[in-house]
Amino acid sequence: MILTTCAIITVTIQAQETPEIGYYYKFKEDHVLDFCWNSNDPNVNDTVVPEEWKNESAVFLYFENYYETIRLKSKAQALSYISHYRIKILDNSALEKFSEIYYSRDPLGNYSINWGSAVRQKNFLGIKIIKPNGNEIVLESDNFIKDDNGGKKVAVPNLEVGDIIDYYQYTYDYGNPYSYAIIDKFIIGGNYPIKHFKYQLLTNRHWKVMLTTGPNGPEIKEKKIGKKFYKFSITGSDFNSGADVMWNLPYFDFPFIKLYVIRRDDFLKDKEKENKRPYRNNKIDKDDLKKAYTSYYQQNNKATNEYNGFNRYLKRHGKTNLSKEQKLEEYYYYLRHIFLNKHYIYDMYNNSMSSANSEGSTYTQVDLEDDGSRYLSGWEFTSHLIYGLNKMNIRYELIATPRRSIGSISNLLSVGETNYLIKAKLSDPVYFYKPSVFTEFNNLPSVIEGAEAYSLYSPDKRTKNISVRKTSIPVSNAEDNSTIHEIDVSFNTDDQKILDIYTKITYKGEPMLRPKYLYTDKFKMIWEENERYKTKRWGDLENSKEKRKIQMEEFTEAREEVRKENFAELAKDLFDTEEIEIVDYNNINTGNQPGEYDFQIFFDCTAKGLVKKVGPNYVIKAGQILGGQLTLEEEDMEREVDIYMRYPRTFDYTVTINIPDGYNAVGLDSFNENIINATGSLTASAAETDNKIIIRFTKTYNHNFEKAEDWPLMKEFIIPASSFPSKEILLRKK
């Protein structure tokens, strides 16, 4: 970490206003300092935090960003960027965050380079600390910037809670006319409230400008300056924080900036000729969607071999009288195997060897979720899928959709904010997203459930006739997305303060994907697919040469050790105790082939810390065996923004506790609950029968979205559920 020297500096440069045309690329360091710290804006030196923000971690007293992109006489572009932030530090969390300032983490500033090349001409950084007594400490710029793994950062010494840190950044880049796009996106007042806000873009007519602040954002003002320039400015004040609210998608409920600027000669000039206002666009162009996705709408005429191979597979297994949906399901898994899964073990092995050779790492460091899907071209898979759809005479359309987290499609600015899937138009539509090794048939990722989308379709399969219309992605139901626990508990015969626990977990729908990566016996799964589809069983030790055999044994053992540890971590997390020993484990059902619609695992373990002896009696922490529950903090109790969850879901537990001879259970009534409303439910019961305690617990979230005014209904079942982990049962000596 660099040590920077500090000095008290008195700045005497005359204050100045923001110029109409900045020509910021001409700025020298003293111009930037003057522009940011000596503006005649009376708010630039504000030190007062409003009373309602006293409990915030930090407050932006002043926040300003300026972009200027100008085509020079040389026909190259000059792109200048200035940011200036004045932040009041109110707690240790903010102190830690702002004690290091990251500068130009992107190699070319706060924007993205699309293609070509651009060269950094200048960059300046200024930092000062304002103490509560008004003293200003300005960090000297000697030895200011330090490289940090591709980024740059500077330590801010002597910063304390109660101080104000005031800093600016400036960059100027020069490049060819087609070397970049400005892409900027953030929530106004995301993690910290903003008292005074200024944002400006200055361009000339060579740039296509797409800019929006969303339905709840401040006004965008436009102004033509002279014959060539256009200024877009946004100002505002008193923006509350809140983007970190639980279950919140801020691009729906908070003001934001989305900016996309790209070279397009005479774009603004043409709009002026057409007398169209505003000069900017604030939503995606449907023609851009067509241009981007037309190739994904077409079949691959080279798919004949794979489709013929698929039909041979069906004939070999006697699957010649399938319905269209059944045949489509078989085709999906066949293509997934051909493009991904048959290479999976080979790819994992070679990735681990490459990592070990280059970094000295061990096999256990292989990423469990390295599924090889990066080798798969989305277009390649889709075009083969569409070939099969046409052969089966199944109509289809392409759906272009953003993640829900990006916000409404009405606020999309570029095709880059969308992804796509194929919709097979059966009586019950079937959806296909780019697969990974473990995605199941008719998979709709939770990140797009319920999202608004665009449908691209053609009535006659001809891509020149593609039309675009609005649609939406379906939402699954809570029953489809279930996590079902069946837990059998016995007292250890040698030590009754130890529990022997057998656990079976069934995952259905959206909750399946990540557990598959963590707990599946991948070798067994893939080799079963190899046998089903008659492809090479790569990695079989019996067919390996001696050197490869030794390496494969090490690789297999290391991955199995990681899998065992994953089961141990699951048990520790489920029962909230570190004193867990795994006895046996495996997956029962992969949920990864035609006809399988759930993923099942089991594990046997012994657990300490869940039983305590009180005289002749035992107290068992039965509620803890039901797993952890969501606990609302004080700041979560009141809510003003809508509720966005990943998907509807159900958590179901059946716990059987075998009572030792000579004891009976006391305290079962505390486990009884029955709360049902429009947003979800909590039902629970406990009873003793045949020397067993049977506890049933089910919590359901009915939807992936609720209005803010329905938050009290959700709390009706969330709060009682949060008390269950502390519930205990007394086993009293008869």
d(CA 128, CA 326): 67
- Residue 618: exposure state from Cβ atoms within 10 A (0-12, 13-18, ≥19): buried
Winning range, highest mean pLDDT, from 67-76, 454-463, 590-599 = 590-599
Residue 639, classed as helix, strand or coil, is coil
Handedness of CA 437, 440, 445, 451 (dihedral sign): positive
> According to the model, what pLDDT value does residue 355 have?
57
**207, β-bridge pairs:** 263
- pLDDT range class, residue 23, cuts 50, 70, 90: confident
Comparing CA positions, the residue from 65, 83, 109, 82 lying closest to residue 199 is 65
Q: pTM for this structure?
A: 0.88
| 682 beta partners | 675, 699
Q: Does 278 sit behind a cis peptide bond, omega within 30 degrees of 0 on the bond before it?
A: yes
Q: How far apart, in whole angstroms, are the C-alpha atoms of residue 667 and residue 671?
A: 8
pLDDT tens digits for 545-564? 777 778 888 888 999 999 99
> Is the pLDDT at 603 greater than 90, yes or no?
yes
Q: Which residue has the tokens 């107290």?
A: 619
CA distance 584 to 504: 12
Taking phi over 0 as left and psi of -120 to 50 as alpha, with beta for the rest, 411 belongs to alpha
Confidence at residue 19, expressed as pLDDT on a 0 to 100 scale: 63
User: Is 116 within 8 Å of 179 (Cβ atoms)?
Assistant: yes
> Which two three-digit tokens encode residue 278?
């505003």
Instruction: Answer yes or no: are the C-beta atoms of 397 and 457 closer than 8 Å.
Output: yes
Q: Using alpha carbons, select from 651, 642, 636, 652 the residue that is nearest to residue 704.
A: 642
Name the pLDDT band for 3 (thresholds 50, 70, 90).
Answer: very low
Percent of the chain with pLDDT over 70: 89
**Whether 401 contacts 418, CB under 8 Å:** yes
The residue assigned the tokens 């039902």 is 683
pLDDT band (50, 70, 90) for residue 6:
very low
- Provide the 3-class DSSP secondary structure of residue 464: helix
Q: Is the pLDDT at 111 greater than 60, yes or no?
A: no
Mean pLDDT value of segment 230-249: 90
For 524, the token pair is: 């067994």
String of DSSP letters for 612-634: EEETTEEEE-HHHHT-------G
What 3-state DSSP class applies to 664?
strand
> Does pLDDT of 358 surpass 70?
no
- According to the model, what pLDDT value does residue 366 have? 32
* Residues 421-445, mean pLDDT to the nearest whole number: 92
The pLDDT, as a whole number, for residue 669 is 94
- Spell out the residues 6+ positions from residue 25 whose beta carbon is closer than 8 angstroms to its own: 68, 70, 78, 79, 80, 121, 172, 174
Question: What mean pLDDT do residues 573-592 have?
Answer: 94
The C-alpha atoms of residue 296 and residue 380 are separated, in whole angstroms, by: 9
Bigger pLDDT: 76 or 718? 718
pLDDT tens-digit map of 669-682: 999 999 999 999 99
pLDDT greater at residue 358 or residue 306: 306
- What digits encode the pLDDT tens for the residues 366-400? 333 344 444 556 778 899 999 999 999 999 999 99
User: Would you say 131 and 163 are in contact if contact means Cβ atoms under 8 Å apart?
Assistant: yes
* Average pLDDT, integer, range 454-480: 89
Burial code (b: 16+ CB inside 10 Å, e: under 16) for 681-695 equals bbbbebeeeeeebeb
pLDDT of res. 549: 79
**Domains of the chain: residue spans and CATH:** 20-43+55-282 (2.60.40.3140), 297-340+376-472 (no CATH), 482-521+552-733 (2.60.120.1130)
Report the 10 Å Cβ neighbour count for 364: 13
In 3D space, the residue among 380, 395, 394 whose CA is nearest the CA of residue 322 turns out to be 394
Task: Identify whether the C-beta of residue 394 lies closer than 8 Å to the C-beta of residue 424.
Answer: yes
Tell me: the pLDDT tens digits for 151-209? 677 888 889 999 999 999 998 888 776 666 788 889 999 899 999 999 999 998 888 89
Binned at pLDDT 50, 70 and 90, residue 644 comes out as: very high
3-state secondary structure 96-111: HHHCEEECCCCCCCCC
Would you say 505 and 488 are in contact if contact means Cβ atoms under 8 Å apart?
A: no
Closest CA to 60 of 149, 157, 186, 172: 186
Q: Give the closest residue to 294 by CA, choosing from 417, 468, 434, 463.
A: 463
Alpha-helix runs per DSSP H in 504-613: 513-519, 522-533, 546-575
Report how far residue 555's alpha carbon sits from residue 348's, in angstroms, rounded to the nearest whole number.
9
Tokens of 77: 């572009």
Between CA 432 and CA 413 the distance in angstroms is: 25
Q: Is the pLDDT of residue 108 over 60?
A: no
DSSP state of 39: B
3-state helix, strand, coil in the chain (%, to 5): 30, 35, 35
- 8 A C-beta contact, residue 531 and residue 501: no
pLDDT at 255: 93
pLDDT tens string 218-232: 999 999 888 888 999
Q: What are phi and psi of 504, to 5 degrees?
A: -120, 130
478-488 average pLDDT score: 97
Cis peptide bond upstream of 19, omega within 30: no
The per-residue pLDDT of the chain, averaged, comes to: 87
